[in-house]
Structure formats: structure tokens, C-alpha cells
Amino acid sequence: MADVITCDASELVSELLLGMRLHGVQFRSIEIASSSGIGFSNPVGRAQFHFVGRGPVWLRGPEATLHALKTGDALLIPNGGPHAMLSAPATPACEIKTFDPADDDGEEHGHAAPVNTADSAVIFSCCMELQLGGMQSLVAEMPSVMRVDTILKSSPEIRPMLDAMERESMRQQAGHAGILVRLAEVVAALILRGWVATGCGNATGWISALSDPRLSKAIVMMHRHPGRQWSVASLAKEVGNSRSVFAQRFLLATGVSPLRYLTELRMRLAFQRLKKVHQPIEAVAIDLGYGSLAAFSRAFKRCTGISPGAVRGADDNSS
């Protein structure tokens, strides 16, 4: 019996975001003295969260746009990229000290230095990987800078968390660093949820396809059951379209065929299960609907450019 889906587009994406994880969190509490700044050399794909414990400060984003920030503001840079936090908008480049989170080692760690100077700005920063499972392609659709103040009206539950972050970052009582990390994770997740709930901005491609009830149902069915033996005909039957009409509408809306979308979804899930969950290759292949390891390996290498064993081997060598 076909699943009945009556959610609107934002609810569907919210459901698919239930598997979101923030991995490899690295954090720092940083003072920014007058007439200076801190540059962050994040590689693209490594997200950064910033909270302003004491402002004002200015963010020069990955696209070089300036954002004025006050005490209690928070933002997420989901796709990473070089950026800087400045004590003044015209801070000269020679006064910007580069901080590279990649210099740290470990899974989750950091440093929360005492606040020494009364007139310095104070920020709390977390570098992290956003893992959205089969929805990983959603990250590329996100704006370069996602500010919490743009969703406070629709998500008022964030305000008490920001207040708590301000208190923890300035009072620095016992255990404050761990509390700040946990709050940062929740606020970052709420920023993402707020963006989804308001329609994902101007996102295009398969996200915009979620505004079509039939296409959205097909997409969610594939995400819910990626290992099922889907065909274009079976997906079309689920949504009440003819095979040809469904295939054409899906291609026009997303830019890929339904089965290409399914294969790419499976390979994103496979990569994460091999690298992060340490699931055996054979088990991943079976769970994702492949009848043989050879067929799975061919599809994986075709999509990712490397073999499943190479992913597992690289992960073993790094542990």
C-alpha cells in the first residue's frame, strides 16, 4: 500500500533533516582587540558557527560582504570558506591574525580562554561538519551566511539559548566551554530548520521540486526507502502519474532523471556509512538495494571516483 503524504514542502524537508548530525566540532573562545581581527581559513565544506559574547564586531563573509553584529548575535557559515571577524569594518589586512581550525587534532575539543580586556570584543566560534545523510546536497543550496536574527520572529525559542550563550561566554563558570558547544549545536540546527521552514530561500533544483506534491512525494519515498527496488514506473504509480509524465516532470524540475537521483542519494548514504558509521561494505550494498557487491562497487566508483574499499582504507589509516 502506498504511503500517504500530506505535508507541505517545508515539513517534508524538516522530516528529512531529522538525521542531521554535527560532526568533528572544534571550538574557541576568542578576544578581538580594538583595531584588529581574526581570519578563519576554513576549507570549503567545513562549516563555522560564530556567537558574539560581546560586540560589536563585523563579519567579512566568504563572499567579502560585511555584516554588522552586536552582542548576542549568532550566525552559521554552512559551506565554510575563508572569512574574518573584525573589531571595525575598515580593519586593515595587516591587523588580521589568521586562525586555522585544522591545526587542532581530535574529534571534539577546543579552548576557552579567559576574558581579560574589558573593551575587547568576545566571540565563541565552532568549526564543524554538517552531516545531513541523504540530504547532504542541501548544504550547497544554503546561503553563504545564515544569521540567527533573520529567523527570531518565526523561531522565538532560540532567544533563551542566545541569552544563555551570552552568560556562559562572559561569566566563564566551571564547565562553560562544554555548555557553549552544546548550545552552539542546537542553535546551528535551529538556524537550518528556520531556513527550511521559510521555504529554503531562493533554492532551486530538487528543493524547488518539493513544491509539487507529486514530485515531493516521490523524493520523500526515495529518502525513506533508499534500498527499495524502485523503477520509474513504480515511482510514477506511487504518485499517481503515468511513467512518461512523471519522468519528464522530474527531469525538468531537478535536472536529473529519477533513477539518477536515486543512485546519487544511495552513494551519499553509502559514503557516510562507510566513512563515519564503519558499516561493512557488503552490508551497505545490501541495505541500499544492490544484489551484488560488484554492482554496488561499480555504481559507487562511477559516482564518487573512488572505490568503497578506498573510503574504508583511508578511514582505517586515519584512525
Decide: 13 and 200 in contact? Cβ < 8 Å: yes
Class of domain 9-197: mainly beta
Give CA–CA dist 258/230, Å, rounded: 9
pLDDT at position 145, please?
94
pLDDT at position 277, please?
77
> What is the 8-class DSSP label of residue 80?
B
In this predicted model, what pLDDT tens digit does every residue of 105-156 receive, in sequence order?
433 434 444 455 667 899 998 887 777 666 666 777 788 999 999 888 888 8
pLDDT at position 189, please?
82
Give CA–CA dist 56/74, Å, rounded: 12
pLDDT at position 5, please?
41
Give the residues of the chain that fall short of pLDDT 50: 1-7, 104-114, 319
What 279-282 contacts at long range (C-beta under 8 Å, 24+ apart), as own/partner pairs, is: 281/308, 281/309, 281/312
User: Taking Cα atoms as reference points, which of 198, 217, 112, 116 lies closest to residue 155?
Assistant: 198
pLDDT at position 181, please?
85
pLDDT at position 106, please?
37
Domain locations in the chain as residue ranges: 9-197, 206-318
Q: Is beta strand 37-40 parallel, antiparallel or unpaired with respect to 96-99?
A: parallel
3-state secondary structure of 85: strand
Please provide the CATH number assigned to the domain covering 206-318. 1.10.10.60
pLDDT at position 6, please?
45
Integer-rounded Cα Rg, in Å, for the chain is 22
Q: What is the distance of C-alpha 242 from the center of its chain?
A: 35
pLDDT at position 154, please?
81
> What is the 8-class DSSP label of residue 55?
-
Decide: 53 and 169 in contact? Cβ < 8 Å: yes
pLDDT at position 22, please?
66
Handedness of CA 100, 102, 103, 107 (dihedral sign): positive
Burial class, 259, CB count within 10 angstroms (exposed 0-12 / middle 13-18 / buried 19+) = middle
Which residue has cell 522530474? 250
